Amino acid sequence: MRLRSLALAALLSTTCFSTPAEAGPVIPFIQGVWVGLTTGAAAGAGISGAFAVGMNAGAWLVGGSFLSRVVVSIGMSALAQSLAPKPQMPSPPEIMANYAQDVSWQDRVYGRVRKGGPYALAAYSSASMTTPLGADNRRKRHYGVIIAAHSTLGPVQHYLDKWPVETDANGWVLTDPVLWRNPPAKSTDYHGSIRAYTGHSGQGADPVWRATFPEVSESDDFSGLSYAALSAARPSMEEFQNIYPGGREWAYAPVWDGCDTVYDPRTDSRSWSNNAALVIADVATWFGKEVDWDEVAAEADISDQLVTNRDGGTQRRWTINTVLRSDMTWEQVRAHLMMCCDAWFYERPDGKLGFKVGAYSAPTLTLTDEDFLSLSIRHKATGPDEVGSYALRYVEPARDWSGEVSGAIILNPLGDRSEEECNGVDSHNQAWRIIWRWAKAAQPEWQLSGTLKVIGYDCIGERFLRIRHAEAGIDCVVEVAMLSRNAGSHTFSIEAASVDPGDFDPDALALEPPRTLRATISEDRIVTAPGSLSGSVIEGTGGVAMIEYVWPAQPEDLRQQLRFRSPGAGIADWQMIDVGAGQSTQVLSALVDGQDYEAQIRNRTGGNRVSAWVPEAPLVLRAVANSVPPAAMQHFTGAAAGSSVGLAFIPPNDPVYAAARIWRATNSTSFDDAVHVGTEYGAPNLADEWSDPAPGVGDHSYWIEPLNGSGIAGSRSGPVTITII
Q: In this model, does residue 569 exceed pLDDT 60?
A: yes
* Residue bearing the bigger pLDDT, 324 or 6: 324
Q: Does the pTM exceed 0.75? A: no
305-317 average pLDDT score = 96
pLDDT at res. 382:
62
> Domains in the chain, please, with CATH?
117-252 (no CATH), 534-622 (2.60.40.10), 635-724 (2.60.40.10)
490-511 average pLDDT score = 94
Q: Cβ distance 703 to 663 under 8 Å?
A: yes
Query: Which region holds residue 8: left if phi is over 0, alpha if psi is between -120 and 50, else beta?
Result: alpha
pLDDT at res. 33:
23
115-124 average pLDDT score = 92
Of 32-46, 220-234, 448-462, the range with the lowest mean pLDDT is: 32-46
* Residue bearing the bigger pLDDT, 523 or 134: 134
φ/ψ of residue 452, rounded to 5? -100, 150
> For the purposes of burial, counting CB atoms within 10 Å of the CB of 499, is it exposed (0-12), middle (13-18) or buried (19 or more)?
buried
pLDDT at res. 19:
32
pLDDT at res. 51:
33
Q: Cβ distance 197 to 229 under 8 Å?
A: yes
Across the chain, mean pLDDT equals 86
Nearest CA-CA partner of 629 in 708, 682, 692: 708
- Going by their DSSP bridges, the two strands 446-452 and 372-379 should be labelled as antiparallel
pLDDT at res. 88:
86
pLDDT at res. 709:
85
Q: What is the rounded distance in angstroms from the CA atom of residue 10 to the CA atom of residue 16?
A: 11
Q: In this model, does residue 48 exceed pLDDT 50?
A: no
Q: What is the rounded distance in angstroms from the CA atom of residue 577 to the CA atom of residue 599?
A: 11
Burial pattern 440-459, b for ≥16 Cβ within 10 A else e, equals bbbbbebbbbbbbbbbbbbb
Q: In this model, does residue 186 exceed pLDDT 80?
A: yes
Which DSSP string corresponds to 542-566? SS-EEEEEE-----TT-EEEEEEEE
Cα-based torsion angle of the residue sequence 392, 394, 397, 402 in order, rounded to the nearest 10 degrees? 110
Of 16-20, 211-215, 315-319, the range with the lowest mean pLDDT is: 16-20
Q: Cβ distance 170 to 193 under 8 Å?
A: yes
φ/ψ of residue 117, rounded to 5? 160, 180
513-522 average pLDDT score = 71
Quick: pLDDT tens for 617-651. Answer: 999 999 988 888 999 999 999 999 999 999 999 99
Nearest CA-CA partner of 33 in 63, 76, 3, 72: 72
